[in-house]
Amino acid sequence: MLRKLWGTDPLRLTGALHKVVQHVMAEVDDAPTPEVRVVDEMENLVGPSGATAHGRLYEIPMGAMAILEDPDRALGYIHQAVQQAADWGARIVGLGSMTGIVGGRGTVVAEQSAVAVTTGNSLTAYTALQNVFETAADLNIDLSKETVAVVGIPGSIASVAATLIAPHCGRLILVGRRASGPAQRLANQLSADFITDVAEALGQATIVVSATSSGSCIEQAWLQPGTLVVDVGVPTDVRGDAAEREDVLILTGGLVHVPVTMAQASPLLWFQHGMIPSCLGETMLLALEEREENFSLGRELQPEAVQEIGSIARRHGFDFSRLYSFGSPLCDEALVRFQKTRSRMKGRSAREASENARPTAAATPKELADRAARLYARYINPVLMAMNGGSGLIETFVRGEGEYLYDAAGKNISTSSRASVR
């Protein structure tokens, strides 16, 4: 029954069950007061190099939408969780999911915390871009010929992702709710178009990276056939619980696979088959590196920091090649169908380009003769052509009429007078 309702996505299942429990508890008169609690112990995170870390996962009693509706209350719970982690012995704390949005993208929490704080947004941005680059490489998509739309400007993840992908794409479109100063400055800096209408932007793009904090801003019907989407939004930006079309590819962005040496380190890692949100991954990496410093805070992420945390992740064996769609592993059939769509589109574009090409002038007889000689030397008998020189041993004919062949100069010769002609 649970599979029928929520499919195979463990993240959605967990979230749905959490909402049901909260609803039931709210109706109980003597229900306990909501409080921060520990939901997982990561006792022994061991990397391939032997680096180790220990951690805890804390949960605040508010869902994503509740955090957006009452950020001040959420901030109070976040402070409690950070303090509990510090009392336990943590030296760095990561703000996962929506907890990294409120309080100035972690800056307020960091100012009042006795330990280092990160939102994990740098690794999230890096992971989203790897989803684009690796999928494009696997499917032979040349990004330099594609129009890329980045949705969520001027958000921190969207902005740094746009900055890093700009040199690789043919055309860049930045999408935001309003034409703010930061959004316009980024568009000018990247020589990109800025559009506030999401549907209009998607009608022009074939690669989409979406990272908003409000979610549900993309209708699947707005996507062009052959579009690759990486959805990093929390809640998700693409509406729907599953792919509604076979001619687009919608990936769940921001998920990274931990090394096999860590996969059994906790119930969470075991349940998710080692796939975790990158915000958690960044916290784990900083702990493995013993870097007790604030990281990924505020509205502006540095491209250098994104590249750095990505390099650290790869050094510790984190894997970015596993693709998920709507929270579940992407099946090979979906990739094949999408690749067929892209191939059909590419073939159609080539035919249209050929049909629309400007007609070229007919080649002259001399041009035909020279071309025939070059091709004969290249593919048939280069030695014979080299021996010919100006001896007239070989004659090249450019047209025939009746029993006569004509060379480039217009001289004719009867085929009956030669035993062999070329």
Q: Same domain for 265 and 183? A: no
Q: Is the Cβ–Cβ distance between 321 and 312 less than 8 Å?
A: no
Helices (H) and strands (E) in the chain, counts: 16, 17
Residue 117: HSE in the Cβ half-sphere, 13 Å Cα cutoff: 26
Q: Same domain for 229 and 273? A: no
Q: Has residue 145 been placed in a domain?
A: yes
Q: Which residues of 28-65 are buried (b: 16+ CB within 10 A; e: fewer)?
A: eeeeeeeebeeeeebeebebeeeeebebbbbbbbbbbe
pLDDT for 422: 46
pLDDT in tens, 10-57: 555 555 655 655 565 555 555 667 899 999 999 889 989 899 999 999
Q: Has residue 270 been placed in a domain?
A: yes
Q: Same domain for 181 and 69? A: no
Q: Same domain for 142 and 290? A: no
Total count of domains within the chain: 3
User: How far apart are alpha carbons 330 and 343 in whole angstroms?
Assistant: 20
pLDDT in tens, 283-292: 999 999 999 9
User: What residue numbers bound the domain in which 396 lies?
Assistant: 365-417
pLDDT in tens, 328-386: 999 989 999 999 999 998 777 655 555 555 554 566 777 777 767 766 665 466 556 65
Q: Same domain for 173 and 294? A: no
pLDDT for 13: 54
Q: Same domain for 337 and 288? A: no
User: How far apart are alpha carbons 175 and 196 in whole angstroms?
Assistant: 6
Q: Same domain for 210 and 275? A: no
Residue 158 CA to its chain's centroid (Å)? 11
Q: Same domain for 286 and 331? A: no
Is residue 154 very low, low, confident or very high in pLDDT (cuts 50, 70, 90)? very high
Q: Has residue 401 been placed in a domain?
A: yes
**pTM of the predicted model, to two decimals?**
0.76
Q: Which long-range contacts (CB under 8 A, 24 or more apart) does 409-417 make?
A: 410/365
Q: Same domain for 269 and 382? A: no
Q: Is the Cβ–Cβ distance between 75 and 64 less than 8 Å?
A: no
Of 87, 84, 105, residue with least CA distance to 95: 105
Q: Has residue 356 been placed in a domain?
A: no
Quote the mean pLDDT of the chain.
85
Q: Same domain for 145 and 108? A: no
Q: Same domain for 239 and 158? A: yes
pLDDT for 269: 87
pLDDT beyond 50 at 4:
no
Q: Domain with 135 in it: what CATH number? A: 3.40.50.720
Q: List, in order, residues 6 or more apart from 144 with CB less than 8 Å away.
A: 168, 169, 170
Q: Has residue 199 been placed in a domain?
A: yes
Q: Same domain for 197 and 341? A: yes
